[in-house]
Amino acid sequence: MVVLALVSALVTFLILTGLTPILPTHNVVVTVLLANAGMVLVLLAVVGWEVFNVMRAQRRGRAGARLHGRIVLLFGIVAIVPAILVAIIASITLDRGLDRWFSQRTRAIIGNAITVAETYVREHGLNIRQDLVAMATDLSRMKEIYDGDRTRFRQILTTQAQLRGVPSAVLIRADLTVVERAEINVGREFLIPQNIIVKEATAQQPIVYVPPSSDYVAAIIPLIGYEDTYLFIARPIDPKVIQYLRQTEANLLEYRGLEQRRFGVQIAFALMYAVIALILLLSAVWIGLAFANRLVAPIRRLITAADLVASGNLYVQVPVRQSEGDLANLGDSFNKMTTELRTQNTDLVRARDQIDERRRFGEAVLAGVGAGVIGLDAAGKITILNRSAERLLGVTEGAMIGREAVEAIPEINTLIREAFADNYRVNGTVTMSRGGRERTFNVRVTTEQADETEHGYVITLDDITELVTAQRSSAWADIARRIAHEIKNPLTPIQLSAERLKRKYGKTLLQDREIFEQCTETIIRQVGDIGRMVDEFSSFARMPKPVVESQDLAETIRQAVFLQRVGHQNIKFDTELPHGVMTARFDRRLISQALTNILKNAAEAIEALPQEERDNGRILVRTSHEDEMIAIDVIDNGPGLPKENRERLLEPYVTTREKGTGLGLAIVGKIFEEHGGRIELNDAPDGRGAWIRLTLASNGTSAAISTVEDNKQDAVS
């Protein structure tokens, strides 16, 4: 369609310029205009469809759509702006050209040409008129010769015509019949026009005329003295002058017609130019669109392929067409790049999989390790934290990652700084308080050289609290056995000797009898106190194994509370226990002993308060389930527990009371450890008093527990 439109515009130009055998008549021009208008409509449809596709691609966000639009806009501007400028210049040029064509000067030149031609003819007319009047005057005096001798008169007429250079002289009547003719042979005949009214000629106003299609000038005048006789003479004019005159008159008529049709001519030229210009313009725009499509197509393929690569598809290949020149080379380079990226990505994925496999193995190892492991970077910031470290420190990995270890774990600052300074392995034991409990950790800080400058650090935390406690308990138990053995042996002879002295000399001694009795009573009483202390040592040293049976724990707690309520009536004992049976597997005697000890300590702590505060003494005992564990909480409003070294109260022979042996809490802790639980020392929820939490396994399982059947077998053995 574009080629046909261009051919149509070329044919139109050739027809209008007269370069073809086809004349640019009105019908031809209208036909050509309609044909070109049809081509314009077709091109508008084609270009409109292309523009619509470009806009639709932009709305859909197609790859390269904006670049395509910019190129189309650029080509459109390049095509339209020159066309508009040419149209403006052509319009001005055409208007100025027509103005010059129809200017006053042009009109004057054409008018002067007619005037010159008419003046030339008029001059011939004046000359022939003068000759006509002179000949008529002479012939009027020769009336007698005319009437008497026609031959002589004819000779005189011929002579007159020859003398004046008139090739034709004829006497005619009013009805144009010839009366007499001069005998001059010039090879042609000058006809008298039939449309001339001869009677209108007078002696004063003869008739002078130039026949429209003749090349001569003629004149008619009546002869005075003659009846109905007129003299007709004719003289030829230069044929070129007549031709020029006719052409000038025709040109004048044509010029006047063009002047009348000036606006129509401008419209016709404008329409023809507009049609041809639109064809050329739309053809240029379509060619620009086609070129833009051809230019953008490989770029669009590259953009689409780049998007696929960005999304992770490294197997994409761009079709390469050698006719696209440098863009083909670019596509070839892109394909090589994706091939290299695919190869490198495969290597990276393989390496990543290996690293992930090693990392998962390391994480599995770290997760399964009971010790806490903390990784540090060269700046001392935490990079990794295993589950054991989270559990031991009571923190989460998300809250610790990225923090400096010296701030997150201030208890091990000294060890970390020492390791940073020496870049070597450092060991130490630290005590940390987490969740209200003091724990003892064996800390190791080691370094691993990642490269020549950067060093990573690994902190290992081993909870040795139970080990230390067990070691201390074992040591104290051994000491208790030794003390009990060494002290108990002489106690009996001392007590027996004192009683014997009292019985034998108590009644016979007269002097200082009261002093004697007081001393012997003191000896017996102190020996008894020492004996009871030795018994406690023996109990701690040889804690009996629990005999676990399924029993009602709530009832055991009620009995222990009842006994203490009777012994300490000034203290209010409250219980929050389930109404039904709370079945658990435990040793009733040992749990009762432990509860009694805890309740007794709470009551004695409240009684140590001043009188005004002691009257409001309150002890709350409650139970709760936590997974497979049973918790017994004993909360009082006494003076509370010390903040520092609180966990040491669970060690043997550590007490805050003046007369305490320091074995009560140690024995309680050991009892509940034998039942798969522990003892926790906390502050009361309301801020005043102590909160002792005792936990034991509901099924009574523990590595140190013996079942009833085991004990029976031991008894049989």
pLDDT tier, 18 (very low <50, low <70, confident <90, very high otherwise):
low
Mean pLDDT score, 219-231: 87
User: Count of H helices and E strands in the chain?
Assistant: 20, 18
For residue 622, what pLDDT is reported?
93
In this model, does residue 640 exceed pLDDT 50?
yes
Q: What is the pLDDT of residues 364-373, one digit of tens each?
A: 776 667 778 8
> How far apart are the C-alpha atoms of 428 and 414, rounded to whole Å?
10
In tens, the pLDDT along 401-416 reads 888 888 888 888 788 7
With 0-12 / 13-18 / 19 or more C-beta atoms within 10 angstroms meaning exposed / middle / buried, residue 136 is: buried
Over the stretch 269-283, which tens digit does the pLDDT of each residue have? 666 666 667 666 767
Tokens representing 144 are 């007698």
- pLDDT beyond 80 at 148: yes
Is the distance from CB of 596 to CB of 564 less than 8 angstroms?
yes
The pLDDT confidence band at residue 375, using thresholds 50, 70 and 90, is: confident
As a whole number, mean pLDDT of residues 517-538 equals 74
Average pLDDT rounded to a whole number, residues 422-433: 76
Average pLDDT, the chain: 76
pLDDT of residue 440: 80
Q: What is the 3-state secondary structure (H, E, C) of 232-244?
A: EEEEECCHHHHHH
Q: Are 669 and 679 in contact (CB under 8 A)?
A: yes
Mapping DSSP to helix (H, G, I), strand (E, B) and coil, where does residue 545 land?
coil
pLDDT at 422 over 80: no
CA atoms of 510 and 502, how far apart (whole Å): 13
The helix (run of H) or strand (run of E) holding residue 218 is strand 216-222
Number of C-alpha atoms within 13 angstroms, CB side, residue 565? 14
Helix (H, G, I), strand (E, B) or coil at 447: strand
Q: What is the mean pLDDT of residues 308-312?
A: 79
Q: So what's the pLDDT on residue 574?
A: 92
Query: Given pLDDT bands bounded at 50, 70 and 90, which one contains residue 713?
Result: very low
Please state, in angstroms and rounded to a whole number, the distance separating the CA atoms of residues 220 and 202. Answer: 9
What pLDDT score was predicted for residue 424?
67
Would you state the pLDDT for residue 712? 38
Q: What is the pLDDT of residue 473?
A: 66
pLDDT reading at 565 higher than 70: yes
Is the pLDDT confidence value at 704 over 50? no
Average of pLDDT values for 89-113? 61
Task: Find the mean pLDDT for residues 605-629.
Answer: 83
> Which comes out higher in pLDDT, residue 186 or 564?
564
pLDDT above 70 (res 450): no
Interval 636-661 mean pLDDT: 73
Model confidence at 714: pLDDT above 50: no
Cα distance between residue 133 and residue 207, in whole Å: 11
Q: Of 167, 185, 672, 259, which is closest to residue 469 (Cα–Cα)?
A: 672
User: Residues 683, 690: contact at Cβ < 8 Å?
Assistant: yes
Q: How many whole angstroms separate alpha carbon 200 and alpha carbon 196? A: 9
For residue 716, the model assigns a pLDDT of: 34
Nearest Cα to Cα of residue 557 among 537, 539, 573: 573
Residue with the bigger pLDDT between 196 and 347: it is: 347
Residue 705: its pLDDT value, please? 42
Give the highest mean pLDDT range of 75-79, 280-284, 302-306, 682-686. Answer: 682-686
Compute the distance between CA of residue 153 and CA of residue 414 in angstroms, rounded to an integer. Answer: 169
Residue 633 pLDDT grade (very low, low, confident, very high; cuts 50, 70, 90) = very high
Looking at mean pLDDT, say which of 287-291, 339-343, 471-475 comes out highest. Answer: 339-343
Residue 491, pLDDT above cutoff 60 = yes
- pLDDT at 63 exceeding the cut of 60: no
pLDDT bracket for residue 186 (50, 70, 90): confident
Higher pLDDT, 214 or 185: 185
Q: How far apart are the first and last CA of the chain?
A: 118
User: Is 558 in contact with 622 (CB distance < 8 Å)?
Assistant: no
